[in-house]
Structure 1
Amino acid sequence: MPVVREIEAAGYRSLRSIRFPGGPLSVFVGGNGTGKTNLYRALSLLQAASTGTLTRALAAEGGMDSVLWAGPRRKAEPARVRLSAELFEESTGQAYTYAVEVGISPPVTAAAFALEPQVKRERLTVQAGARPVTVLDRDGPAGFVRDEDGRKRPFGTDLLPTETALAALQDAVRFPELQIVRQAFAAWRFYHDVRTDTASPLRRPCLAVTTPALAPDGADLAAAFATLTHIRGDTADLDAAFADAFPGARLVVPRPDREARFGVIFSEYPQRVFEPPELSDGTLRYLALAGTLLAYRLPPFLALNEPETSLHPDLTELLARMIVRAAQRSQVWLVTHSERLAAAVAEYGGVRPRLVLKRDGATWIDGLRLSGAFSDEDE
C-alpha cells in the first residue's frame, strides 16, 4: 500500500499555502488556534475525495464561506480550496500525486445549488521514471483519463460539479492508477471523535464480528478486543499496556456469542467485573486508544488528533510508547497540544516534533522551507 510522502493544502481555513513531507511517524504540536487541526482535516478531505463525499464534507463544515482562507489573496486569485497528496509505492517505485480544487460557481447553474461546493479541477499524475505521466486531468466538466493501455479517453460519464472523478470512475481494470489511489485514501483511518460520555457506543456491547482495526468512532471496541483475544490468541501487548496503566487490574474479554463485551477487574474488588458503563472517561479513553494502536491489523495510515484528551498525565508516556509501537506497523500522524506527549514520542521514537504556529495569520510549521522541506532534514 502506498505511503504518504508529501501533503499540500492551500486556501483552506488557516492554511494559506503549505507543503511539507510525511514520514513513518509525524508529530505536530502547537497551542490552541494555531491551525494544527486544519492540517489533520485537510487529510480527511483528501480521503473524502476518494469516496465521493468531498463537497458534502465541506458543506457540513459550514460551506465555502466558512472553509475558505479568509486572509488577503493576490489579485485575480480564485477563491478555492486546493488539496494535494503524493503517495509512494516502494514495491514498484511509483509515485502518485493527486490534486483537487474546490470552489463555488456563479449563482445560476443547472447541476448544483448556488452556494454548494463544486469541484473545479482534478489531476492525477504517476511517476515511475524521469517524467510524470498525467493519467487524469479535469477542468470543470471536461477532461480525460488514460485507460489501461495508456490511451486518453473521455470520462464516459457526465460528472456533476459536486462529484470527484476519482470516486466516479470506478472501473478498476480500465483505470488501475485511479483504483490504487482510491484504495490508498480509503484505507486511511482518523481517530478524533471517540466519545466517552454516558451515551458513548464504547459503553455498549457490539456485534461479534471479526474486527482487525478499530472503527473511527470506537463503536466496535469490544469486538476488536475479542479479535485479539480469541482469534489472534495474542494479548501480550494489550495486557502489558493495561497493566502498566492500572497496576493490579485486569482486562476481561469473554468469548463472544452474538455480541462482544469486555470489562475490568480491579485489585480492590477481585470478585467483580466492572462493565464499560461503570468505567471512568479516562479509563475508557485509554482502552479505546489501546484498541486503536494495538489492533490485530493497523490501517496503512493512522491519524490521531489530540489523543491525550481526558487522560491522566501519568498515562502520557504509556500512550507515547503505544504510538511509537504502532508506527512500526503503520504510518502514524499525531496532532497534539501536549508538549509532554510530543517529547515522549520523540524520546521513544527518535523523531523530531514539528511546532505548528501562526505566521502572518496563516498556519505554518517551524523550520519548514518554502520548498516544502524541513531545514533540519540533513541533520
Structure 2
Amino acid sequence: MPLSAVSIKNYRSVRKLWLPVEQLSIFVGANGVGKTNLYKALALLRAAADGTITRAIAEERGLNSVLWAGPRTDRKPVRLVLKAVFDELEYGLEVGLPHSYEIEVGVRQPTEAAFVLEPLVKAERLTIRSGGRDVVMMERNGPAVMLRKDKGKRESHEFAVLSSETALAAFRDGARYPELEAVRRELLGWRLYHDFRTDAGSPIRQPSHAITTPTLSSDGHDLAAVLATLSVIREDTTALDAAIDDAFPGARLAAGEKGSLCQMSLRFPDMPRPFAAHELSDGTLKYLCLLGALMGYRLPPLIALNEPEASLHPSLLAPLARLIASAAGRSRIWIVTHSEELAGHLLEEAGKRARRVIKSAGATGIEGLKLSGEFADDDEDEDE
C-alpha cells in the first residue's frame, strides 16, 4: 500500500501543498525555504498512527509555533491539516482499496475541556476507493467517531476518544476495521532518519542486543544488530561488502554476535587492526548508519532522509547516491537535502531530478509544481 501523495496545509511555512510521492522523491533548496517542514509533516502523519501527534506538536513548542503564521483571508480558526494518499492496490473484495487518511489539528474552543494552549485533534477521516466511488470508513468529529465494519455496516461511538488522541490509534480491531488497521500499520512502518548521534556516549557506538533486526531504528541504536543480521542470519554480505568497498576502498566490515550482543568493526587497508564502533570517526559512523538504513534485511515501505549529507566527506556523496538508487528499488525514498552535489549524483545514478523547494511571499512551494499535483517539466519530458 505505497504512499502516492501527501497534502500539507497550514504547517509552519507551508500554506498549502499537494505533493506527489514518487519511488524516489528528492527535494533540494537553500536554507530557510522550508525543506525540513516537508520532512516533519511526514513525521506528524506517522505520529498520528501511534496516537502521539498532539504530544509531538507540543514538543515543537505547541500550536503557536506549528501553525501557519502568514497572512490569513478570514478570522476562522486555523487548523493544521495533513493527508496521506495511498496507491490503489488489489486488496481483496472483502476489504476494498485503501485510499486516504486525513487529520486536522486545531486550538481549544471555549466550550472544550482542554488546556488553553493544548493542540487538539478536531477531525479524522479514512476513505477507500470501492466500486468506483469514495467510501468513508472512519470519520471523527471531536470526540465522536463513525466507523464502518464488515459489509459496510455503520456504527457510532460517542465520546470514544479524547482530544489528545487519534481514532486511528484508538481503534485497533483488525478483524472489525481492516482498512483502519491496514493504514495504521502502513504509517507505523515508515522510518524517518533526521540525524544520528555520534558523540562518545551515543548508543550507536555500543554493542546491540543479539536479536534478529531487519530494519534500522530511527535513532540507529541497533545498527550492529542490523549489520549482523545480514551477515549471520541472511549469510550473504556480497552487496554489503561491495557498498563498503565503494565508500571506503579496501576496507572490510565485520559484524556478528559475541555472546548475547552484536558488535561491528571496520578494518582499513592501511591500518594494522580493525576499529570498533567506539573508535570510528563521526562521518564514518554516520555513513554506516545510512548504509544500515538503506540495506537492511527488510526495508520499510517509506524511508525519509533529512539532510543525509551532513557530516559526510564529499567523497562519500557518490557512493551514498548509489545506495539510495539501489534502495529505491525496494522502498519509496524521500530525501530533503541542501547538497546540489548529492542531487547531481542522484540524477546520474537514479535518473531522477531533484525538485527545488522555494519560498514565495513567505510560503514554501515547489518549483514547477502545478495545482493538479503534476510537475511542469514532466509535461516537457513527454513532449520530447
TM-score range, shorter chain: over 0.9
> Structure 1 residue 121 and structure 2 residue 123: aligned?
yes
Which residue does 1:242 correspond to in 2? 244
Deviations 1:31-90 (A, max 9, x none): 111101100110110111111001000001000011011001121332111100101242
Is the 2:58–2:119 Cα contact (8 Å) retained in structure 1? yes
> Structure 1 residue 288 and structure 2 residue 289: aligned?
yes
Is the 2:144–2:160 Cα contact (8 Å) retained in structure 1? no
Which residue does 2:67 correspond to in 1? 68
Which residue does 2:102 correspond to in 1? 99
Is the 2:145–2:160 Cα contact (8 Å) retained in structure 1? no
Is the 1:15–1:362 Cα contact (8 Å) retained in structure 2? yes
TM-score in terms of structure 1 length: 0.96
Deviations 1:284-304 (A, max 9, x none): 111111111111110011111
Which residue does 1:344 correspond to in 2? 345
Deviations 1:81-119 (A, max 9, x none): 110010124233824211110011135633x21111001
In structure 1, give the amino acid aligned to 2:299: L
Is the 2:24–2:328 Cα contact (8 Å) retained in structure 1? yes
Residue 305 of structure 1: how far off its partner (Å):
0.6
Which residue does 2:157 correspond to in 1? 155
**Partner-residue secondary structure (3-state), 1:352:** coil
Deviations 1:343-364 (A, max 9, x none): 1111111112100010111110
Which residue does 2:58 correspond to in 1? 59
- For 1:226-241, list aligned pairs within 5 A: 226-241=228-243
How far apart in 1 are the matches of 2:367 and 2:212?
Answer: 43
Deviations 1:261-283 (A, max 9, x none): 0111222223x221111111111
In structure 1, give the amino acid aligned to 2:155: R
What is the alpha-carbon root mean square deviation over aligned residues?
Answer: 1.4
- For 1:136-175, list aligned pairs within 5 A: 136-155=138-157, 158-175=160-177
Residue 23 of structure 1: how far off its partner (Å):
0.9
Q: 1:350 to 1:95 in 2, by over 3 A?
A: farther
2:261 counterpart (242, 259, 262)? 259
Is the 1:124–1:136 Cα contact (8 Å) retained in structure 2? yes
Residue 246 of structure 1: how far off its partner (Å):
1.6
Which residue does 1:364 correspond to in 2? 365
Range moving further from structure 2, 202-211 or 70-79 = 70-79
2:112 counterpart (92, 105, 109)? 109
How far apart in 1 are the matches of 2:76 and 2:374?
Answer: 25
Residue 163 of structure 1: how far off its partner (Å):
1.0
How far apart in 2 are the matches of 1:202 and 1:159?
Answer: 38
In structure 2, give the amino acid aligned to 1:80: R
> Structure 1 residue 376 and structure 2 residue 355: aligned?
no
Aligned length: 376
Is the 1:226–1:254 Cα contact (8 Å) retained in structure 2? yes
Which residue does 1:306 correspond to in 2? 307
**Partner-residue secondary structure (3-state), 2:201:** coil
Is the 1:58–1:64 Cα contact (8 Å) retained in structure 2? yes
Deviations 1:220-249 (A, max 9, x none): 010011100011011111111111222222
Deviations 1:122-167 (A, max 9, x none): 1111013321001111222234111112011112662111111111
Is the 2:77–2:107 Cα contact (8 Å) retained in structure 1? no
How far apart in 2 are the matches of 1:233 and 1:63?
Answer: 47
Which residue does 2:35 correspond to in 1? 36
How far apart in 1 are the matches of 2:243 and 2:3?
Answer: 28
How far apart in 2 are the matches of 1:54 and 1:254?
Answer: 37
In structure 2, give the amino acid aligned to 1:316: L
How far apart in 2 are the matches of 1:375 and 1:249?
Answer: 44
Is the 1:307–1:336 Cα contact (8 Å) retained in structure 2? yes
TM-score in terms of structure 2 length: 0.95
Which residue does 2:178 correspond to in 1? 176
In structure 1, give the amino acid aligned to 2:178: P
- Quick one: percent identity of the two aligned structures? 52
> Structure 1 residue 10 and structure 2 residue 20: aligned?
no
Question: Unmatched 5+ residue regions in structure 1?
Answer: none
Which residue does 1:316 correspond to in 2? 317
**Partner-residue secondary structure (3-state), 2:157:** coil
**Partner-residue secondary structure (3-state), 2:138:** strand
How far apart in 2 are the matches of 1:153 and 1:107?
Answer: 29
Is the 2:98–2:179 Cα contact (8 Å) retained in structure 1? no
Is the 1:301–1:332 Cα contact (8 Å) retained in structure 2? yes
Q: 1:277 to 1:147 in 2, by over 3 A?
A: same
Q: 1:221 to 1:16 in 2, by over 3 A?
A: same
Is the 1:228–1:234 Cα contact (8 Å) retained in structure 2? yes
How far apart in 2 are the matches of 1:143 and 1:157?
Answer: 8
